Structure 1
Amino acid sequence: MKRIAFWLLVMLFVKVLGSIVFEYRNYFPANFESNFLVGREAFFSGSYRVAFYTHILCGPISLLVAAFLIFSGSRKALSHWHRRLGKLLASLVLLVLLPSGLVMATRALTGPVAGAAFFVQTFATALCVGFASWYASRRRFNQHRAWATRTFILLCSPLLLRLITGATVAFELESSWTYRFAAWGSWLIPLAVYECRNSILRRSIARSIKGTLS
């Protein structure tokens, strides 16, 4: 069942990422009647334009590299590529993806509440990448794996954002407030689930050790 669930998640990952990339046909050239670009024509120039194209080109690459790193982390045969691509991902995220995301957050759909979600998420991602890199450099792999997983969860947030906003449209619940909820929930909810899982595992291990010692 775990294997089935894993492959279902992989299929969902690929499908949602593919649907996001498929929308790029409306961005080259910019179609201001498409979903994401509606109402953005007035400021779609200068730094925002550069940030937009930088972000949408770097995003899928970063996500695919991150997925490979999650897959290859426990495979010694891929350790060489894991180290090289880990450094590449850290550079892409910190130097390209996050700065361009900050620029785009200033013009977030529905205003400053959603924009604040993307700002906080950006800094949280930078923090996770920093800790993952630091622990890897010191060969503290358990801590590295935890922070790398948090990084992957945050990088996947656009996919969950897409799912949530798509669901609100399908159920006729679309509004400015549902988008604001999606902007925060798309990364806070999966992070909270991950941290709760870690907490349960730690308590289970502690009980096992205590039982063994007693």
Structure 2
Amino acid sequence: MPQPLLSSWPDQLTHFRRALNPHPPRMTSGPEHGHGAVALILRPGPQGAEILYIERAAHPRDPWSGDLAFPGGRIDPEDGGIRQAAERETYEEIGLDLRDADYLGGLDDIVGAHLPVRVSCCVYALPEGKNPPLRRNHEVSDVFYMPLDKLRAPARHIITRIDWNRAPRETPALTLLPGNRPLLWGITYRLTTQLLNRIGLPLLPPNVVSAG
């Protein structure tokens, strides 16, 4: 298998597209599940592909308040489909127009472990040589890109204890930001690991236990 982080950007895109399209993504359905769509956005960086993440703004009625995530949200009836919802939400949240981006394919749906929600993920790549400005709305407190080579550093992959909905539990997570910034866990962690597995760059098993 080629090493996508060491290839040219066009070669990386070819590798990603082939990895994402051996078959259609598995879709999950059920009347008990709300349906959301997110965009996993890749761009070329000095050491290879980078993934865009947002930090959600704190809100007392948001179950994902303050979490790291991909831009996205609930699919509206007028959206016309998963991709349209992911693109609309991305533009609303961070001002990034994905109509000029390269759509690479979709990941399998993820169903929330503790919330009745399923999430579909569309994967995009930004054109080489372009770095469009981002404009955060009130739902987003920060936006950043994370290089895949740094994301996959073994020390970042941990088992941590978090308090979620007033109940502590242990979960795998990634430490993407320094200090006491949020960890990457839950649905976005699962989508990230799914992408890494598809492209042949899986994480090593978590090797740190940390108190959250």
The higher-RCO structure (CA 8 Å, 6+ apart) is 2
Bigger radius of gyration: 1
Higher helix share: 1
Higher strand share: 2
Q: TM-score, normalised by structure 1?
A: 0.23
